[in-house]
Structure 1
């Protein structure tokens, strides 16, 4: 067959997205298990996900510190021994802290699970937070914070989060002195309440064989018990700041960091899917209006974008960039101009069609393997939603009209109601 190099391939729109649904089970101790069985490789990823405990202003770093130090020693293993055991079997272990949840993740060959799962069991049930490791952690975190506080964009993000989310887990901005609040005894009490089966969701993805489930059950059902005190994962009510403009002057700055936005809605709200379409038009991909104007046309920045932060107890829509210090005010004016255009003029159908195709392609491209399908499930499960959310999301992408997006712009993209943070020169 002769290739027709002068003729472009036929373009076909993406019609449907098919997601893998998990098999659900629950262990006798209350731990929920969701299994995504797919793939030919003898590999499995297991995640133990725990809801963060209620934020305490007097001990603001406990959730983060406890999760970060889980792998630093147990009653029977040092941090070096934990690393050696995992590495010996070609496995990979990591701990991750998020605003709503903290998790332990293991990637392991199926044939080695009987060696690697006991290590995870030991970490989740017997971590002791050795004083030496805690001192090293505090010292390293202080040094990292000192470096971070020299960067305008980091400062802007901290101020923005504090303004939107107040004195809550989401608005936390640790200072050097905050690390003085950490101590082993508080961490061990926190650990015992948080890392118990009734506060755990396990997500298993990969090639799941009957023996895989038997090993998991043997390790995390029969000898893993609740403490009797349920984990309190509620969070304080968010009270945004009254002040909407924050300027931190840096006289010698060559660039100014800009971060602005407002409280929005999370995945549980019907406006969330179409609002994602609007956000993409504004600044959610390389061809967005903010990029076309402020980077391509004006040359004020190397990059600018907008995004949506969807958390369990709050959400925001934000714009972030760093621009030349001498053009900061003009960049802010251009951002306001783009927001006003979306409020006052309908998005042309050609532009909207491009964004539709981008979003559908991005969704399809994000489902490259079974692990990706498990990640999509986490987005909805921890928001209390079902798979019909993705049906509504795809429907919004394909059918939302320009006049509906204009209504959303008037409701959510009001520049006068935005929190505005500038660090540098203005």
Structure 2
């Protein structure tokens, strides 16, 4: 199965940028903060309770409308994910327009129109304002929620979730979310394939009917419009919107752990560990501490000049980047600090992160660090003002969070007023590594013992469910890697049946960016192999040929020099049924334990090929079938771990053959390669195996 990974790297396009030599030992000198002018707003309220804010800006002939619902957290329960679909469904058709008609009308006037579970946003040229408002209020008042559109959204969502199962950053986010807030809290609920499958049209419709009410809504209008005209338009288009009662539920505030907890998600094929040190914090938006903590975080981990980055990347070389965040929320915020690092420096990286957390709490920062942080925040704030929606959000936030009317007008001045004493005070109040969850997604066999030094270690699956791992020592004494492999051979047809196959040819197809990827494989006993990957029916992007002695590898028609180490592995790597050849070709087999693969137990067997390269195979405990193969390949920027999921076994001439390979092509992305044709013992063109 490893042969299905070979074409992945041909899908990655690299652009290199030459950078001037920088003296990274010196921090950039801070410049003078820019003066910011923010437009004042006028406001009024309709009889139905809709609160409206108008910010006039006549520099460009554009106007934007941003409608936001002010509601509390909502528990989605066993239907987690439906809130993310509400806005999409509102945009997918009304009583008077189909999705295609809405898209066409928006494109015709060069406008934009979007919706979410608690917002509707539209923007257009001033001359098209009424056309935009007609469309905007049509999706607001008259959504039909077509079943076929929900089916499409659910299919897309499930595809994304499938890709995230093998994305260590997504896994880290899942586990951190559960540990921070708990699965019974709205902030701690996870979207899964099961919860998405439970979502119905009624869930979408009920939410819309219960929460889309003007009396909990704010409307911000920004751009080329005067206040008087805005009043007329809002009354015309939003005045008929009927108000209603909206229920609110009180939620408990999640608490930080009383002492440090270590959570490990064991991914046995990982060459890197994703580290996240996190805990909940009580920090309200617009509070007295909010601006001060933003300066604190900027110094600690807010960018490429911050302490975590300079320590873990520039000084230690452990990672490409290390960052932190300190977020505010009306109910509960959170702190997070972390990085992706090599397995062998996982514990050292945690030590350095904790060191920096303690240091910023125990010692004052330097004036240079403070100046740099202040100017960075000021610059980001200034750039954000280029977007009309930013000004709209400022107006809405001022009302939602009961901020002073000049909060944003004085924002830069208040940032500049932060002192070194303020930073240390905030650090002592909010930086608490001794009350944190240390979440690590990585290879347990290499890092687990070292992680125990930081606190109580527990294992979690990719959805944040705690479990007790089974190692080789926990398995029956007579269970070996060879027995698991023998069970697999028996499950797919038996040794004698597999050995009766003299030639085998398959054609698989996958869809990528609207184009068809065709993967053709051919094998001829005892050890000849051929693999071809053709993109768009025209361009052969990859070809591999093994004639039993030599290995040829072509990328876009160019043959690479033969790699002697890869040639050592070729007879097994590209074999029809590799498991039959492990002993003959001196492939070492080690049963490392039982792992959780998509909620099912699977035996993990680590293979070491003659060249020394390693492959990890997972065999279902229940069926004996191979369900995943993980390899480490050399990518443009270093080693890449690729896990191919093996599914949809079907019988062909008495042999179970997997008909679908879920192949990763990038972070969080997978494609399905489905077998379209398969021929067993029907003859193969021997010319395919000629290299010269």
Q: Which has the higher strand share?
A: 2
Q: Matched residues in 1 for 2:344 and 2:394: separation?
A: 42
CA RMSD of aligned residues (A): 2.4
Cα shift at 1:284: 0.8
Q: Does 1:199 align with 2:216?
A: yes
Task: Pick one of 116, 120, 133 that aligns with 1:117.
Answer: 133
Q: Matched residues in 2 for 1:404 and 1:212: separation?
A: 43
Determine helix, strand or coil for the equivalent of 1:95: strand
Write the mapping of 1:170-185 to structure 2, written as runs, cut at 5 A: 170-185=187-202
Map of 1:34 onto structure 2? 53
Q: Does the CA-based 8 Å contact 1:279-1:306 persist in structure 2?
A: yes
Write the mapping of 1:102-141 to structure 2, written as runs, cut at 5 A: 102-141=118-157
Q: Does the CA-based 8 Å contact 2:172-2:276 persist in structure 1?
A: yes
Map of 2:86 onto structure 1? 66
Q: Does the CA-based 8 Å contact 2:290-2:328 persist in structure 1?
A: no
Query: Measured at CA, do residues 235 and 20 of structure 1 come closer, stay the same or move farther in structure 2, by a change above 3 Å?
Result: farther
Q: Does the CA-based 8 Å contact 1:274-1:393 persist in structure 2?
A: no
Cα shift at 1:417: 0.9
Q: Matched residues in 1 for 2:198 and 2:192: separation?
A: 11
Write the mapping of 1:9-408 to structure 2, written as runs, cut at 5 A: 13-14=32-33, 17-52=36-71, 54-56=73-75, 57-96=77-116, 102-166=118-182, 167-209=184-226, 210-221=228-239, 223-226=240-243, 228=244, 230-240=245-255, 242=257, 244-264=261-281, 265-368=283-386, 370-390=388-408, 394=412, 396-408=414-426
Query: Measured at CA, do residues 387 and 159 of structure 1 come closer, stay the same or move farther in structure 2, by a change above 3 Å?
Result: farther
Q: Matched residues in 1 for 2:414 and 2:440: separation?
A: 34
Q: Matched residues in 2 for 1:370 and 1:185: separation?
A: 35
Q: Describe the superposition over 1:347-383 as per-residue Cα deviations: whole angstroms up to 9, x where unpaired.
A: 1222222222222333233323654333333444332
Determine helix, strand or coil for the equivalent of 2:173: helix
Cα shift at 1:15: 7.8
**If the length of structure 2 is used for normalisation, what is the TM-score?**
0.56
Query: Measured at CA, do residues 246 and 232 of structure 1 come closer, stay the same or move farther in structure 2, by a change above 3 Å?
Result: same
Q: Matched residues in 2 for 1:240 and 1:271: separation?
A: 19
Query: Measured at CA, do residues 149 and 21 of structure 1 come closer, stay the same or move farther in structure 2, by a change above 3 Å?
Result: farther
Q: Does the CA-based 8 Å contact 1:52-1:63 persist in structure 2?
A: no
Q: Matched residues in 2 for 1:333 and 1:211: separation?
A: 60
Cα shift at 1:212: 4.6
Q: Does the CA-based 8 Å contact 1:164-1:262 persist in structure 2?
A: yes
Q: Does the CA-based 8 Å contact 1:346-1:403 persist in structure 2?
A: yes
Determine helix, strand or coil for the equivalent of 1:40: coil
Determine helix, strand or coil for the equivalent of 2:187: coil
Cα shift at 1:335: 0.3
Q: Matched residues in 1 for 2:212 and 2:380: separation?
A: 35
Cα shift at 1:224: 1.8
Q: Does the CA-based 8 Å contact 2:292-2:418 persist in structure 1?
A: yes
Q: Which is worse superposed, 157-166 or 259-268?
A: 259-268
Cα shift at 1:262: 2.1
Cα shift at 1:277: 1.2
Map of 1:4 onto structure 2? none
Q: Matched residues in 2 for 1:307 and 1:129: separation?
A: 37
Structure 1: tracts of 5 or more residues without a match:
1-9
Q: Matched residues in 2 for 1:126 and 1:53: separation?
A: 24
Cα shift at 1:72: 1.0
Determine helix, strand or coil for the equivalent of 1:127: coil
Structure 2: tracts of 5 or more residues without a match:
1-28, 448-692
Q: Does the CA-based 8 Å contact 1:69-1:129 persist in structure 2?
A: yes
Cα shift at 1:96: 3.7
Cα shift at 1:30: 1.2
Cα shift at 1:214: 2.3
Query: Measured at CA, do residues 61 and 369 of structure 1 come closer, stay the same or move farther in structure 2, by a change above 3 Å?
Result: closer
Determine helix, strand or coil for the equivalent of 1:170: helix
Q: Does the CA-based 8 Å contact 1:43-1:206 persist in structure 2?
A: yes
Cα shift at 1:50: 1.6
Cα shift at 1:54: 4.9
Aligned residues: 410
Q: Describe the superposition over 1:317-359 as per-residue Cα deviations: whole angstroms up to 9, x where unpaired.
A: 2113211222211111110111121122221222222222222
Cα shift at 1:309: 2.0
Q: Does the CA-based 8 Å contact 1:53-1:194 persist in structure 2?
A: no
Q: Matched residues in 2 for 1:124 and 1:137: separation?
A: 19
Relative contact order higher in (CA < 8 Å, ≥ 6 apart):
1
